[in-house]
Structure 1
Amino acid sequence: MPSLNQILLIGRLTRADRNDETSTNGAELRHTDSGRPVIRFRLAVDRPGTGQADFFDVIWWGPSPDGDPDGVKCKRFEQHVHYLRKGRLLLVKGRMQARSYETQDGLRRQVWEVHVGGAGSQVVYLDRLPDEVPPLPDDDDAVPF
């Protein structure tokens, strides 16, 4: 039986959950044990006519280091964390995924996250870059010819 798990959101970045060296004002960069970069951020999506918003946790998966032996793709992906600032307007296309965990009190919790990465997923900047942020570097050096 066919199925579909796809979500399309347009909203603004809110603050990162953490405030340390791995995060900017709007996003947090981490790496998996295998070295794959992952950017986490929260997106606020307005409910038209209500003055309220829904908040979505977004997990943006970078390229696998296995397919990037010289690290160029991973380094380029990691630069996005500098552009993901509080207030940026984004289009996010991904899939919803549930994750369960246990609290310190022994209670089971479930959270829903938007996962971006793979075929059909994308993050699109819908507003201008701030003047203080340099443009993403060209990756022409990665082209083998």
Structure 2
Amino acid sequence: MQQIKLIFKEAETCYQTGNFEHSLRKYYIVIDECEKYLETEKDQNSANKDYTDIRSFLGECYNKRGLVRYKLVEFAEAVQDFTKALKLKPNMAVAFYNRGLIHYRLGNYEGAIIDMKAALNWDAGFTSAKQCLEECFIQSIKHQTQK
């Protein structure tokens, strides 16, 4: 697991320096290794703390890879990653926010509103989600009046 966390840190560093392609490759490795681990451990004891911790970590990895895909304008793939992150870690407000941003950017204001509300449900003090939710409502009303 130590090696996986090192590769994760490398992926984060690549992301922070704008090397998104390399970051994406690193996240693929981390996610693949975590998935393999969970597959071998699920029959052993899914209540095991390591299993639970890895699921949570994997959720974070999917969220981070989704951010990379967002930067690479791979919106459909990013939405898939954020959705996978939320299946693994349903209380991850930032994954709802990230997925909502893509919905907003694509003009799916209703989807964005649903995700921003969910983000705020898990983190009521999430200022960016509040601001985006307000903007989603404004754009949704404008869009409806233009029809």
Q: Same fold (TM over 0.5)?
A: no
The structure where strand makes up a greater share of residues is 1
The structure where helix makes up a greater share of residues is 2
TM-score w.r.t. structure 1 length? 0.26
For CA contacts below 8 A with separation 6 or more, give which structure has more relative contact order: 1
